[in-house]
Structures are given as structure tokens and as C-alpha cells.
Amino acid sequence: MSLKSNVDPVELTAALVRCPSVTPADAGALDILHELLSDAGFACAWADRGGIRNLFARWGSQGNTRSFGFNGHTDVVPIGDEAAWTMPPFRAEIKDGIMYGRGTTDMKSGVAAFAAAAIDYVQNTPPDGSVVITITGDEEGESIDGTLALLEYMEQNNERMDVCLVGEPTCPNTMGEMIKIGRRGSMTVKFRVIGKQGHSAYPHRANNPLPAMMRLMDRLASRELDAGTKHFDPSTLAVVTVDTGNPATNVIPAECSAAVNIRFNDEHSGASLSAWIKEEVEAIRTGFGVQVETHVKISGESFITPPGDLSAMVSRAVQEVTGVTPELSTTGGTSDARFMKSHCPVVEFGLVGQSMHQVDEHVSVEHIVQLKEVYTRILQDYFA
């Protein structure tokens, strides 16, 4: 693929969508970007780890006084039932100004837009500073060997970003309406309650784990974690599964399992919530005489990039291009911004995300063009 100056972000989005890069497969998507960025004068390197491909690219000299960074991913979620799609999921067909395909929204269009903006900007107006691009193939998966591997590569090779923009889709309904300046933390806790199996007609000879599990789930789900904070909505806890695997109605099972997912704001940490859950588990264990095993996975801590120069700069660019004044928000799930925030100040701005992960995922061609223009204006403002 030979795209040079004046890179068409729509054409580049289509080329990336045609790579069936269902996580953790790459399917050639990062090779397209590697060639494109290398041809434009970016110093490119692979930061692969654990079988995951990750691309680092820098325009400008290492150690420049100013460095603006973009971050994104090219891996996508599975397509589900292909028969349910009315448009082929990996053909990037355009109909009535809409491009269809897995990854069109989340987030190959975002990657295409910032790659195109960066290439055109550095070739047309070489800045006094560096532009850094990091793209992973492990955002939709375990996220262990993706952006974390890129950050490790940067630390080992004395590379840096002074600020970073993640190109995830951030707008709920209208292009330009929302910038993410933080994210809630996320953790999942799995429970296994072990009692004693027995006949349901003789419950005194058994120790039913189900009442213990139901009491535990009720105690966890009934607690109001907080009322929200200055920049965050209230934290939430959802019971996502309860399983016994018991088809018999005359048998008290020996054990059962369950899981909860917690999305938490800056009033909590993974450690403080883990400590609370440990107390609740201990109360159930002693009260019901059962064994309780727990497994905690903290996907990310909550974080906030306080409103300031970075968010103001992005807001100006969004308003100039779209005519919409964006809201600064911390809503939604997790993204790789949770890793970038440990390196430098980070915000997120991208397309309307209504169709992401859905059948017939799609994006407005006009919005892709607008997004490239937003990113271009941000670079112009940053290096002015």
C-alpha cells in the first residue's frame, strides 16, 4: 500500500478493516501502518511481547523538547454470528456515506485519522518537536502485552510523550460531544463457596452453599459504594453470574460460584475495595460455616487528568471542526488510557461509538474526515 502525503483517512480505514485482526491476530494491519509511517520519515520499531504485535513510531529527534503522542489499537472483537451481518464484516463497503465492518468504529478509523493527520502535518509543517505514535494489537484482549509492552519499550529506549491523545470512540450520539479526561477503575471478583452435598429431604445432613452465596451477593450488591465525586458518577457493583451446575432438584450441591464486576471512581482503589470484600467474605464464612475462595482481578485504577491546557486544546479543535462544544467526561468502560496516564497526561477523543462491538458496526465517512481535521488542528495548536 503506497499512501504518501495528503493521506486519505477513509482509504486507510478501509485498508485496515480489510485485515481480519480479531484479537490477538494482527492479520497485516500493523504492517500497513509500519510501511506508511516509515515512508513518511517516522522511525518505527516493533515492541512485540507474548505473541502480540505492537508498533512504536516517532517523527523527530529523540529527546526533543516537546513530544505529542497518539495511542490506539488495531485488534477487534469477534464478529459473532456472521449470518446476522447485512454487510460483510471485513470488506469495508460504503453505502450512503456509511462504511460497514468490524473495527470501523472501534477503532481503526481513529488510528487511520491520527496516522493520516500526523503524516500530513510533519511533512507539510515540520514541527519543532516530536510526534510519537503507539499502536497495539492487544486492547480488546487481556491487555497484558499491548500498551504496557509499548510503555516498557519506551522506558528501556528513553522514548517519551509529554502528552497523549487516545483515539478511542468517545461520543455517545453526536460527533464532537464528548472528550474523556479520565476513566473509572474496573475490577472483577470471582467467588467459590464450598459446603457439603446432601439429599434435599435431609438438609440437616448437608451444608448448602447457596444461601451463603445469595447472602454474600445481596450484601455486596445492596451497599451504596458512594454518591459520586467531583468528576465521576457513583461507583457501581453488578452481580454478573451465579452458577451451581446442579440439574437435580433433590440434591443439595456441594459448591457454587459467582462473580461481580465493580466500576469505581476516585473515592476508592482496587486495594480498598478488595479489603472490603475480604471482610464481607469472612462474615459469610463464619456465619454459614462454609469455605469461600475468592479471585480478584483489577483491570485498572480510576484516574483523572484535571481540566487544563490539554483538554482545553482538544476542546478548541473539536469545536472549530464540528461546531460542537464537547463535554469533559469520565463515563464509560476502560481503555488503554489507564496505562498511558502513568507515563504522561492523557485525554481521549474519537468518533461516535454507538455501533462498536455490534453486528453491522459502522462509521460515517464524513466523521472520519472530520476526525483527521480535529487531530491536525490539535497538532498545529500544540506546536504553535
Top pLDDT among 4 and 307 is at 307
Query: Residue 3's pLDDT is what?
Result: 39
Structural domain contains residue 90? yes
Do residues 123 and 15 both lie within one domain? yes
Q: Which of 138, 139, 168, 361 is catalytic?
A: 139
Judge whether 114 and 165 are in contact, CB under 8 Å. Answer: yes
Do residues 272 and 318 both lie within one domain? no
Would the pLDDT of 63 be above 90? no
Do residues 255 and 288 both lie within one domain? yes
CA 4/CA 273 separation, integer angstroms: 50
Nearest partner of 194 among 115, 108, 268, 290, judged by Cα: 290
Query: How confident is the model over 347-381, as pLDDT tens digits?
Result: 999 999 999 999 999 999 999 999 999 999 999 99
Query: How confident is the model over 218-248, as pLDDT tens digits?
Result: 999 999 999 999 999 999 999 999 999 999 9
Nearest partner of 47 among 105, 128, 112, 133, judged by Cα: 133
CA 376/CA 121 separation, integer angstroms: 7
Structural domain contains residue 2? no
Query: How confident is the model over 121-168, as pLDDT tens digits?
Result: 999 999 999 999 999 999 998 899 999 999 999 999 999 999 999 999
* Residue type at 103 in one-letter notation: G
* Catalytic residue status for 224: no
* Catalytic residue status for 360: no
Mean local confidence (pLDDT), 64-92: 95
Structural domain contains residue 1? no
pTM, two decimals, is: 0.90
Give the end of a domain, one of 300, 317, 340: 300
Beta-bridge mates of residue 257: 192, 243
Mean local confidence (pLDDT), 266-270: 96
* Alpha helix segments (H runs only) across the chain: 9-17, 29-39, 109-124, 147-156, 209-222, 270-288, 309-322, 337-340, 365-382
Do residues 174 and 75 both lie within one domain? yes
- What's the domain count of the chain? 2
Nearest partner of 182 among 193, 194, 166, judged by Cα: 166
Domain of 351, CATH number, reads: 3.40.630.10
Query: How confident is the model over 304-361, as pLDDT tens digits?
Result: 999 999 999 999 999 999 999 999 999 988 899 999 999 999 999 999 999 999 999 9
Would the pLDDT of 2 be above 90? no
Helix and strand element counts for the chain (H, E): 9, 19
Q: Which of 75, 120, 140, 145 is catalytic?
A: 75
In Å, what is the CA distance from 15 to each residue of 18, 116, 375? 5, 13, 20
The grid coordinates of residue 41 equal: 520519515
31: Cβ–Cβ under 8 A, 6 or more apart, which residues? none
Do residues 325 and 285 both lie within one domain? no
Give the end of a domain, one of 267, 300, 333: 300
pLDDT above 70 covers a percentage of the chain that reads 98
Q: Which domain holds residue 26?
A: 9-183+303-382
Would the pLDDT of 45 be above 90? yes
